[in-house]
Amino acid sequence: MITKESIRQVALNAGADLCGFGDLNRFEGAPKDMDPRYVFPDAKSIICLAFRIPRGVQRGIEEGTQFYQYPSLAYGGINETFAPAVLYEVGKYIEDHGYEAVIYRNTGARGKVSDMTGEEGNTLSPEEQIIHHERTKNKTAHHRTVQFTRPVSEDKAAPDLQFHFRLAAVACGLGEIGWSKMLLTPEFGPMQRVAFIFTDAPLEPDPMYNGEPLCKKCMACVRECPGGCISKEESIKINVGGKTIEWGKLDEWRCYIYYTYPGKKHDPFIPTEVFEEHKDGKLRIYEYPEVKATENEVLNVYSVLDQYFPSWTGYNMAKCGGCIGACVNMLEKTGCLKGRFKEPFRTGKQRWKIDR
Ligand code: SF4
Ligand code: SF4
Protein backbone atom coordinates (compact mmCIF):
# COMPACT_ATOMS: atom_id res chain seq x y z
CA MET A 1 0.00 0.00 0.00
CA ILE A 2 1.23 3.49 -0.78
CA THR A 3 1.71 5.72 2.28
CA LYS A 4 3.34 9.01 3.06
CA GLU A 5 6.27 7.17 4.63
CA SER A 6 6.71 4.82 1.69
CA ILE A 7 6.80 7.82 -0.70
CA ARG A 8 9.29 9.58 1.55
CA GLN A 9 11.50 6.49 1.55
CA VAL A 10 11.39 6.21 -2.24
CA ALA A 11 12.30 9.89 -2.54
CA LEU A 12 15.21 9.64 -0.11
CA ASN A 13 16.46 6.41 -1.71
CA ALA A 14 16.31 8.04 -5.13
CA GLY A 15 18.49 10.94 -3.96
CA ALA A 16 16.32 13.64 -2.37
CA ASP A 17 17.70 14.95 0.91
CA LEU A 18 14.38 16.01 2.41
CA CYS A 19 10.78 15.20 1.62
CA GLY A 20 7.78 17.03 3.09
CA PHE A 21 4.03 16.79 2.59
CA GLY A 22 1.74 19.78 2.42
CA ASP A 23 -1.95 20.53 2.62
CA LEU A 24 -3.09 22.35 -0.52
CA ASN A 25 -5.43 24.48 1.59
CA ARG A 26 -2.32 26.20 2.93
CA PHE A 27 -2.25 28.12 -0.37
CA GLU A 28 -5.54 29.83 0.43
CA GLY A 29 -5.11 33.53 -0.35
CA ALA A 30 -2.38 33.05 -3.01
CA PRO A 31 -2.93 35.23 -6.11
CA LYS A 32 -4.79 33.28 -8.79
CA ASP A 33 -1.87 33.47 -11.23
CA MET A 34 0.40 31.84 -8.65
CA ASP A 35 -1.96 29.43 -6.96
CA PRO A 36 -0.62 25.88 -7.49
CA ARG A 37 -4.06 24.39 -6.94
CA TYR A 38 -4.92 25.33 -10.54
CA VAL A 39 -2.21 23.01 -11.89
CA PHE A 40 -4.03 19.86 -10.80
CA PRO A 41 -7.43 20.78 -9.36
CA ASP A 42 -8.12 17.22 -8.17
CA ALA A 43 -4.82 16.99 -6.31
CA LYS A 44 -5.13 16.12 -2.65
CA SER A 45 -1.50 16.55 -1.67
CA ILE A 46 1.65 18.45 -2.54
CA ILE A 47 5.03 16.88 -1.91
CA CYS A 48 8.23 18.91 -1.67
CA LEU A 49 11.61 17.34 -2.36
CA ALA A 50 14.70 19.25 -1.28
CA PHE A 51 18.19 18.73 -2.65
CA ARG A 52 21.11 19.93 -0.64
CA ILE A 53 23.72 22.26 -1.99
CA PRO A 54 27.03 20.86 -0.78
CA ARG A 55 28.76 23.54 1.28
CA GLY A 56 31.94 23.04 -0.74
CA VAL A 57 30.23 24.17 -3.92
CA GLN A 58 30.54 27.70 -2.54
CA ARG A 59 34.14 27.31 -1.47
CA GLY A 60 35.65 28.87 -4.59
CA ILE A 61 33.43 31.95 -4.30
CA GLU A 62 34.18 32.23 -0.60
CA GLU A 63 37.91 32.13 -1.35
CA GLY A 64 37.62 34.24 -4.50
CA THR A 65 39.31 31.54 -6.57
CA GLN A 66 36.66 29.52 -8.47
CA PHE A 67 33.24 30.77 -9.49
CA TYR A 68 31.96 28.12 -11.89
CA GLN A 69 30.91 25.32 -9.54
CA TYR A 70 28.11 27.07 -7.68
CA PRO A 71 26.02 28.19 -10.69
CA SER A 72 26.74 25.06 -12.70
CA LEU A 73 26.23 22.41 -10.00
CA ALA A 74 24.05 24.08 -7.41
CA TYR A 75 21.75 25.80 -9.93
CA GLY A 76 22.03 24.04 -13.27
CA GLY A 77 22.97 20.60 -11.97
CA ILE A 78 20.22 20.35 -9.37
CA ASN A 79 17.50 21.99 -11.47
CA GLU A 80 18.27 20.28 -14.75
CA THR A 81 19.66 16.88 -13.80
CA PHE A 82 19.54 15.69 -10.21
CA ALA A 83 16.06 16.85 -9.18
CA PRO A 84 14.22 15.80 -12.40
CA ALA A 85 15.70 12.30 -12.15
CA VAL A 86 14.39 11.92 -8.59
CA LEU A 87 11.00 13.44 -9.46
CA TYR A 88 10.72 10.89 -12.24
CA GLU A 89 11.39 7.95 -9.89
CA VAL A 90 8.97 9.12 -7.22
CA GLY A 91 6.35 9.93 -9.86
CA LYS A 92 6.61 6.40 -11.26
CA TYR A 93 6.23 4.93 -7.77
CA ILE A 94 3.05 6.93 -7.12
CA GLU A 95 1.56 6.06 -10.53
CA ASP A 96 2.40 2.36 -10.05
CA HIS A 97 -0.05 2.53 -7.15
CA GLY A 98 -2.90 3.97 -9.16
CA TYR A 99 -2.56 7.69 -8.41
CA GLU A 100 -1.46 10.47 -10.71
CA ALA A 101 1.81 12.29 -10.05
CA VAL A 102 2.23 15.76 -11.55
CA ILE A 103 5.97 16.17 -11.29
CA TYR A 104 7.00 19.81 -11.26
CA ARG A 105 10.64 20.72 -11.70
CA ASN A 106 12.12 24.20 -11.36
CA THR A 107 10.77 26.00 -14.38
CA GLY A 108 12.67 29.26 -14.44
CA ALA A 109 10.44 32.19 -15.27
CA ARG A 110 7.74 31.52 -17.81
CA GLY A 111 4.52 32.64 -16.18
CA LYS A 112 1.79 35.17 -16.78
CA VAL A 113 3.28 37.43 -14.15
CA SER A 114 6.94 38.19 -13.65
CA ASP A 115 8.59 36.44 -10.72
CA MET A 116 10.67 39.62 -10.37
CA THR A 117 7.82 42.07 -9.94
CA GLY A 118 4.62 40.03 -9.77
CA GLU A 119 3.38 42.09 -12.70
CA GLU A 120 2.36 41.20 -16.20
CA GLY A 121 4.75 42.30 -18.90
CA ASN A 122 7.78 41.31 -20.83
CA THR A 123 10.63 40.98 -18.40
CA LEU A 124 13.74 38.91 -18.99
CA SER A 125 14.66 35.65 -17.35
CA PRO A 126 18.18 35.19 -15.97
CA GLU A 127 18.83 31.99 -17.91
CA GLU A 128 17.51 33.60 -21.05
CA GLN A 129 19.92 36.50 -21.11
CA ILE A 130 22.14 34.90 -23.72
CA ILE A 131 19.21 34.05 -25.95
CA HIS A 132 17.97 37.58 -25.47
CA HIS A 133 21.26 39.02 -26.60
CA GLU A 134 21.32 36.73 -29.61
CA ARG A 135 17.75 37.49 -30.63
CA THR A 136 17.91 41.21 -30.18
CA LYS A 137 20.39 41.14 -33.01
CA ASN A 138 17.34 40.24 -35.11
CA LYS A 139 15.07 42.57 -33.14
CA THR A 140 13.15 39.74 -31.42
CA ALA A 141 13.49 40.00 -27.67
CA HIS A 142 13.07 37.06 -25.34
CA HIS A 143 10.93 37.61 -22.31
CA ARG A 144 10.64 36.62 -18.68
CA THR A 145 6.88 36.30 -18.93
CA VAL A 146 4.62 34.81 -21.56
CA GLN A 147 2.75 38.07 -21.84
CA PHE A 148 0.16 37.06 -24.46
CA THR A 149 -1.03 34.05 -22.51
CA ARG A 150 -4.73 33.74 -21.56
CA PRO A 151 -6.87 31.36 -19.50
CA VAL A 152 -8.30 28.53 -21.59
CA SER A 153 -11.64 29.00 -19.77
CA GLU A 154 -13.02 31.42 -17.19
CA ASP A 155 -12.52 29.13 -14.23
CA LYS A 156 -8.82 28.59 -14.85
CA ALA A 157 -5.61 30.55 -14.38
CA ALA A 158 -3.58 31.44 -17.47
CA PRO A 159 -0.75 29.09 -18.44
CA ASP A 160 2.04 28.55 -17.66
CA LEU A 161 1.19 28.80 -14.03
CA GLN A 162 4.12 29.23 -11.69
CA PHE A 163 3.98 29.28 -7.95
CA HIS A 164 6.32 30.47 -5.24
CA PHE A 165 8.69 27.55 -4.62
CA ARG A 166 10.09 28.71 -1.31
CA LEU A 167 6.67 29.36 0.19
CA ALA A 168 5.47 26.01 -1.11
CA ALA A 169 8.40 24.35 0.69
CA VAL A 170 7.30 26.14 3.86
CA ALA A 171 3.74 24.89 3.25
CA CYS A 172 5.17 21.35 3.13
CA GLY A 173 6.67 21.81 6.59
CA LEU A 174 10.33 21.88 5.56
CA GLY A 175 11.36 25.14 7.20
CA GLU A 176 11.05 28.91 7.27
CA ILE A 177 11.80 31.91 5.11
CA GLY A 178 14.81 33.81 6.44
CA TRP A 179 15.18 37.59 6.51
CA SER A 180 17.16 37.17 3.26
CA LYS A 181 14.06 35.62 1.59
CA MET A 182 15.92 32.34 1.28
CA LEU A 183 14.34 29.09 2.40
CA LEU A 184 16.00 27.92 5.63
CA THR A 185 15.72 24.33 6.80
CA PRO A 186 16.96 22.90 10.11
CA GLU A 187 19.10 20.40 8.18
CA PHE A 188 20.84 22.62 5.64
CA GLY A 189 20.13 26.25 6.55
CA PRO A 190 19.94 28.15 3.23
CA MET A 191 21.69 25.41 1.21
CA GLN A 192 19.08 23.58 -0.85
CA ARG A 193 16.92 23.73 -3.93
CA VAL A 194 13.43 22.26 -4.21
CA ALA A 195 11.06 20.49 -6.60
CA PHE A 196 7.44 19.32 -6.22
CA ILE A 197 4.85 16.66 -6.93
CA PHE A 198 1.07 17.15 -6.94
CA THR A 199 -0.92 13.98 -6.50
CA ASP A 200 -4.47 12.80 -6.01
CA ALA A 201 -3.21 10.27 -3.46
CA PRO A 202 -4.71 11.24 -0.08
CA LEU A 203 -1.71 11.77 2.20
CA GLU A 204 -1.64 13.21 5.70
CA PRO A 205 0.19 16.59 5.56
CA ASP A 206 3.25 17.19 7.72
CA PRO A 207 2.81 19.95 10.30
CA MET A 208 4.19 23.38 9.44
CA TYR A 209 7.71 23.86 10.83
CA ASN A 210 7.29 24.70 14.46
CA GLY A 211 10.74 24.32 16.00
CA GLU A 212 13.34 26.87 17.10
CA PRO A 213 13.29 29.95 14.84
CA LEU A 214 15.83 29.24 12.10
CA CYS A 215 16.50 32.84 11.10
CA LYS A 216 18.46 34.57 13.84
CA LYS A 217 17.63 38.06 12.51
CA CYS A 218 21.37 38.73 12.70
CA MET A 219 21.23 40.84 9.49
CA ALA A 220 24.51 39.37 8.23
CA CYS A 221 22.76 38.85 4.87
CA VAL A 222 21.91 42.57 4.78
CA ARG A 223 25.45 43.61 5.68
CA GLU A 224 27.18 41.31 3.21
CA CYS A 225 25.04 41.94 0.16
CA PRO A 226 27.33 43.80 -2.26
CA GLY A 227 24.40 45.70 -3.73
CA GLY A 228 22.55 46.62 -0.55
CA CYS A 229 19.56 44.73 -1.98
CA ILE A 230 17.96 43.57 1.28
CA SER A 231 16.30 46.13 3.52
CA LYS A 232 17.15 46.10 7.20
CA GLU A 233 13.97 47.90 8.24
CA GLU A 234 11.26 47.14 5.72
CA SER A 235 9.73 43.71 5.62
CA ILE A 236 7.11 41.71 3.76
CA LYS A 237 4.64 39.67 5.79
CA ILE A 238 2.27 37.04 4.48
CA ASN A 239 0.29 34.15 5.85
CA VAL A 240 0.91 30.53 4.88
CA GLY A 241 -1.14 27.79 6.52
CA GLY A 242 -2.05 30.05 9.44
CA LYS A 243 1.56 31.03 10.10
CA THR A 244 2.94 34.54 9.57
CA ILE A 245 5.99 34.51 7.34
CA GLU A 246 8.19 37.60 7.25
CA TRP A 247 11.28 38.53 5.27
CA GLY A 248 13.28 41.65 4.53
CA LYS A 249 12.12 43.64 1.52
CA LEU A 250 14.34 42.58 -1.36
CA ASP A 251 15.07 44.76 -4.38
CA GLU A 252 14.88 41.92 -6.91
CA TRP A 253 16.16 43.87 -9.91
CA ARG A 254 19.14 45.11 -7.96
CA CYS A 255 19.87 41.57 -6.83
CA TYR A 256 19.57 40.45 -10.45
CA ILE A 257 22.43 42.78 -11.31
CA TYR A 258 24.62 42.24 -8.28
CA TYR A 259 24.42 38.50 -7.87
CA THR A 260 25.95 38.06 -11.32
CA TYR A 261 28.07 41.21 -11.49
CA PRO A 262 28.74 42.27 -7.89
CA GLY A 263 30.72 45.40 -8.73
CA LYS A 264 34.28 46.65 -8.56
CA LYS A 265 35.26 45.27 -5.17
CA HIS A 266 33.63 41.88 -5.53
CA ASP A 267 34.07 40.97 -9.19
CA PRO A 268 37.61 39.99 -10.17
CA PHE A 269 36.73 39.41 -13.82
CA ILE A 270 36.07 43.01 -14.89
CA PRO A 271 38.97 45.35 -15.66
CA THR A 272 38.97 48.52 -13.54
CA GLU A 273 38.97 50.74 -16.62
CA VAL A 274 35.63 49.26 -17.76
CA PHE A 275 33.96 50.53 -14.58
CA GLU A 276 35.67 53.88 -15.09
CA GLU A 277 34.76 54.17 -18.75
CA HIS A 278 31.04 53.48 -18.16
CA LYS A 279 30.56 55.06 -14.74
CA ASP A 280 28.28 57.81 -16.03
CA GLY A 281 26.62 55.56 -18.58
CA LYS A 282 25.71 51.92 -18.65
CA LEU A 283 27.45 51.04 -15.38
CA ARG A 284 26.17 54.04 -13.47
CA ILE A 285 24.33 51.82 -11.00
CA TYR A 286 27.69 50.88 -9.46
CA GLU A 287 28.73 54.50 -9.09
CA TYR A 288 25.53 56.15 -7.87
CA PRO A 289 23.56 54.30 -5.19
CA GLU A 290 20.45 56.38 -5.94
CA VAL A 291 20.09 54.83 -9.41
CA LYS A 292 16.99 52.66 -9.33
CA ALA A 293 17.50 49.10 -10.53
CA THR A 294 15.15 48.34 -13.40
CA GLU A 295 15.04 45.85 -16.21
CA ASN A 296 16.66 48.51 -18.36
CA GLU A 297 19.56 48.89 -15.95
CA VAL A 298 19.99 45.11 -16.05
CA LEU A 299 20.30 45.28 -19.82
CA ASN A 300 22.75 48.17 -19.56
CA VAL A 301 24.98 46.24 -17.19
CA TYR A 302 24.77 42.97 -19.09
CA SER A 303 25.45 44.60 -22.44
CA VAL A 304 28.80 45.83 -21.14
CA LEU A 305 29.85 43.07 -18.73
CA ASP A 306 28.54 39.86 -20.28
CA GLN A 307 31.60 39.47 -22.46
CA TYR A 308 33.87 39.22 -19.41
CA PHE A 309 32.10 36.30 -17.74
CA PRO A 310 29.43 34.83 -20.01
CA SER A 311 26.95 32.22 -18.80
CA TRP A 312 28.40 28.88 -19.81
CA THR A 313 25.79 26.89 -17.92
CA GLY A 314 22.54 28.34 -19.24
CA TYR A 315 22.13 29.99 -15.83
CA ASN A 316 23.43 33.36 -14.84
CA MET A 317 26.84 32.95 -13.32
CA ALA A 318 26.05 33.84 -9.71
CA LYS A 319 29.18 35.27 -8.17
CA CYS A 320 28.20 37.39 -5.20
CA GLY A 321 27.91 34.58 -2.61
CA GLY A 322 26.80 37.33 -0.23
CA CYS A 323 23.60 36.36 1.53
CA ILE A 324 24.09 32.61 1.37
CA GLY A 325 27.71 32.71 2.59
CA ALA A 326 26.85 35.18 5.34
CA CYS A 327 23.95 33.05 6.48
CA VAL A 328 25.92 29.78 6.51
CA ASN A 329 28.65 31.49 8.51
CA MET A 330 26.19 32.87 11.07
CA LEU A 331 24.11 29.71 11.37
CA GLU A 332 27.24 27.66 11.98
CA LYS A 333 28.07 30.01 14.85
CA THR A 334 24.67 30.56 16.35
CA GLY A 335 22.00 28.46 14.70
CA CYS A 336 20.82 25.27 13.12
CA LEU A 337 24.13 24.51 11.36
CA LYS A 338 26.15 24.61 14.56
CA GLY A 339 28.51 21.65 14.83
CA ARG A 340 27.58 20.22 11.40
CA PHE A 341 31.10 20.45 9.99
CA LYS A 342 34.45 19.73 11.60
CA GLU A 343 35.83 23.02 10.30
CA PRO A 344 33.87 26.28 10.02
CA PHE A 345 32.87 27.63 6.61
CA ARG A 346 34.62 30.90 7.30
CA THR A 347 37.71 31.26 9.41
CA GLY A 348 38.61 34.91 8.75
CA LYS A 349 36.40 37.65 10.15
CA GLN A 350 35.38 38.99 6.77
CA ARG A 351 35.22 37.85 3.20
CA TRP A 352 37.70 39.12 0.62
CA LYS A 353 37.29 42.44 -1.12
CA ILE A 354 39.34 43.79 -4.02
CA ASP A 355 41.15 46.96 -3.15
CA ARG A 356 40.25 49.25 -6.05
S1 SF4 B 1 21.95 35.89 7.67
FE2 SF4 B 1 20.91 36.09 9.64
S3 SF4 B 1 19.16 37.45 9.24
FE4 SF4 B 1 19.91 36.76 7.27
S5 SF4 B 1 18.61 34.97 6.81
FE6 SF4 B 1 20.47 34.19 7.77
S7 SF4 B 1 20.00 34.06 9.96
FE8 SF4 B 1 18.42 35.35 8.99
S1 SF4 C 1 22.02 37.06 -4.00
FE2 SF4 C 1 23.75 38.50 -3.74
S3 SF4 C 1 23.00 40.39 -4.65
FE4 SF4 C 1 21.21 39.14 -4.26
S5 SF4 C 1 20.47 39.72 -2.23
FE6 SF4 C 1 21.84 37.98 -1.94
S7 SF4 C 1 23.82 38.93 -1.54
FE8 SF4 C 1 22.55 40.50 -2.47
pLDDT band, very low/low/confident/very high, at 295 (cuts 50, 70, 90): confident
pLDDT tens track for 40-81: 999 999 999 999 999 999 999 999 999 999 989 998 899 999
Mutate to test the pocket of ligand 1, among 182, 217, 336 (most ligand atoms within 8 A of CB): 217
Per-residue pLDDT, 141: 38
The reported pLDDT for the residue numbered 124 is: 58
- Residue percentage of the chain with pLDDT more than 70: 91
Query: Ligand 1 pocket, 216 CB below 6 A?
Result: yes
Ligand 2: residue whose CA is nearest its atom 8: 225
The sign of the CA dihedral 249, 251, 252, 258 is negative
Atom of ligand 1 nearest to the CA of 179: 5
Task: Write out pLDDT tens, residues 160-206.
Answer: 888 999 999 999 999 999 999 999 999 999 999 999 999 999 999 99
Structure confidence by residue, pLDDT tens digits, 221-240: 999 999 999 999 999 999 99
Under the banding of pLDDT at 50, 70 and 90, the label for residue 144 is low
Residue bearing the bigger pLDDT, 149 or 168: 168
Assess whether pLDDT exceeds 70 at residue 135.
no
Ligand nearest to the CA of 58: 2
Close Cβ partners of 41 (under 8 Å, ≥ 6 residues apart)? none
pLDDT at site 130: 52
Q: What's the pLDDT at 121?
A: 61
Q: How far apart (Å, rounded) are the C-alpha atoms in residues 133 and 131?
A: 5
Side-chain half-sphere of 222: how many Cα atoms within 13 Å?
A: 17
- Statement: the pTM of the whole predicted model exceeds 0.85: yes
Neighbouring-strand partners of residue 103? 197
Query: Quick check: 341 and 191 in contact, CB under 8 A?
Result: no
Yes or no: say if 172 and 199 are a contact pair by the CB < 8 Å rule.
no
> Tens digit of pLDDT for each residue in 99-134?
999 999 987 667 777 776 677 765 555 555 555 555
* Atom 6 of ligand 2, nearest CA residue: 323
Closest atom of ligand 1 to 189 CA is: 6
- Tell me: pLDDT of 31 over 80: yes
Ligand 1 pocket, 246 CB below 6 A?
A: no
Index of the ligand 2 atom closest to the CA of residue 250: 5
Of all protein residues, the one whose alpha carbon is nearest to atom 4 of ligand 1 is 221
Q: Examine the pLDDT at 5 and tell me if it is beyond 50.
A: yes
In this structure, the number of other CB atoms found within 10 A of the CB of residue 289 comes to 8
